[in-house]
Structure 1
Amino acid sequence: MEKGRFLGFTITPRGIKENPKKIQAIENMQSPGSKKDVQSLNGKLAALTRFLSRAADRALPFYQTLKGCLSKKDFISTAPIPGETLTVYLAASFEAISSVLIVDRGKTQMPVYFVSKHYQLPSDMIKQGETTVTRRETDEFWELYTDGASSEEGPGIGLLLVSPNGEEITYAIRLKFAASNNEAEYEALIAGLRLAESIDVRQLTAYVDSQLVASQLNGSFDARDTSMQKYLELTKALTNTFASFEIKKIPRNRNKKADALSKLASLLYDHFTKKVMVEVLERKSTEEDALMATITTEEECWMTPFIKYLADGTLPEDKLQARRIRMRAPMYNFKNGILYRKSFTEPYLRCIGPTQAKEIIQEMYEGAYSTHSGYRTIVSRIKRMGYFWPHMYRDTYDQIVNCEACQIHAPVNRSPHRNMIPIHAA
């Protein structure tokens, strides 16, 4: 290959070399002194961005200067035409991100819009629902305000969780069972403790306006009633999950927000649910474990390799199986001793073993609300219930295909297997 020039670059057998004349022209460039010079430099820099490594960090001072000398009102000088191609140039770093929207008009790049923002993001974040908190905040003291209300329309509870930086999380719960004022106060405190535990709060101070609840937890009062004893045991078990917990009795006028939430959930439930998400508790917290369906995890099944890998990083000895587990493990989440299947458009699905899968299929197909539907419908209902296991469609089909009732009442095809041949008599 001979040495030569192509598109302004020097081509040699060893590769492409830079053009000394262009380098000299860039070094001899003068600093922009007017608005037009800044816009011209913007177009040149945008054209060279693809050839520069880490161009975003290098261009950040220029974009800051551009933002200072040009206001947004002056910069929006070119209106895009429908169907016209727009180009966005971004400059990002750890402290700021800037962008310029450009449109090509002939041989000139015209700026349409410019924006630059400074950010200060935490390095370690935890996201629960729509509440985002940092680990540093979870190690500081949080404040919990709870209150319960009981009326003829039904009991309701409200709680307010306040982060160290002042962010508030409000929650209202409607109780669909008869509860006294003291029971409603305990239900509010238990719901608040569970909410704080779910976002990994380590240090918590609870404020209640019930003298009975605060005194029983502090040890000043004894719980003589059986119902109060159950609530007290459950509440103490939840408080032990925090590194530091303290409960204080406050006047009702300092607990206005939680009191308002509890009364709205109790008195104005039908109207309140149109504006705010309100949870409904079907049973008491002390009876929840006894009334809930028990789902036990089987000892050895398809979930065992995933649980061992996600829990302590243990992989099977077989290299092929170990590679398969390592590739599929990101689709699962192991939390509180339960394996969940992740999904892009659905909530997490609880993983179950083969024995439990057979029981669920049998219940969905021939249970109290069975309709002897097809296997695809059965699988979709099982997923809506929140369960998952591999080969759901195949296992469901194999189990329901031998249903005797479906075979007896299934439509019978009486058409001949072969086409009929007409016979003409002589």
Structure 2
Amino acid sequence: MHKPELSGRLAEWAVEISGYDIEYRPRTAIKSQILADFVADFAPAMIPEVDKELLLTSRTSLGVCTLCTDGASNGKGSGLGIVLKPPTGDIIRQYIRSIDLTNNEAEYEATITGLELAKSLGAEIIEAKCDSLLVINQVNGIFEVKDDRMRIYLEKLQVVLHRFKKWTLKHVPRDQNNEADALANLGSSVESEGFNSGVVVQLMSSIIETGHVEINSTSFTWDWRNKYIDYLRTGKIPSDAKESRALRTKAARFCLVDDQLYRRSFYGPLARCLGPGEIDYTMREIHEGTCGNHSGTDSLVRKLIRAGYYWNKMENDARSFVQKCNECQKHAPSIHQPGEELYPVLSPWPFMKWGMDIVGPLPWAPGNMTDYFSK
């Protein structure tokens, strides 16, 4: 403004514009605010999808996990059907080939096994549904337990239920439990000679005999370890040549020790490969456990490797975990940037305010100099 030519041009433009009803306002972030208000006011159907996406990214299991179970016993054998609906929305369906059991024992086995699987996924709140009146009434204390085996099953079921923060066990009619019933019948119909552990889970022994559920839980299709375990056990490869070559190359880094997958490394012992139900607990123990110091992403990954653990996308999971840590957010270093005055933008109704930008053509200034005022 100290240059005479610049102030003169400003005065000239002011005289020209004074004849019109034009009001000058500085540019603000009006467009982004309008779009945000429009989405908030006219897209209420997006709220459930946003909540679902938040639950997926936060890897939390605080929602209600629904479990439907059924047991079947016939001349071909016994089978268990499990339909698990985690709060993330993915449905896990599994049929299990069991040892010879009675119908009531199969119902107990299916319920206890389903609860164990839900707990292994990190579920804290469970809503179990079963079509057996005997199991429901014995758990609620309505029916008296006379058989010794039924009493042991009841004690096992009560122990598993109390491992959850909150649980409900209710009876549903058989016609509302068709999916679990079909899976149970399918598990009981599988011939033991043609049994394939990569297709169906096998219950090795009864729960009341071993004291815990001994199952081949790695047969779930959502576990990243399945393709390596199946290849190392059976040697099966995909039909596609490119996928087959990639699988053989990657599987050379892994090995099986007592049916547990481990990854070889150049600078340490074998690293135990973790599944989805173990990742969050392991990171939490190392990050904020007894010896944890709330380290950053890179340091957390190095500590996990030194502790002997491995899984796919370790860096991404560690970064997401550190960013969501409450203590790290509270005690993180403060940002020492200078404060700036805030300019609130009010928009009573979407698109009530409009902003317009007018550009060019821009004339060339004499002497090949840029005309910053008109630009």
Higher strand share: 1
Q: TM-score range by the shorter chain?
A: 0.3 to 0.5
Task: Give me the TM-score of the superposition, normalised by structure 2.
Answer: 0.44
Greater RCO, CA 8 A, separation 6+: 2
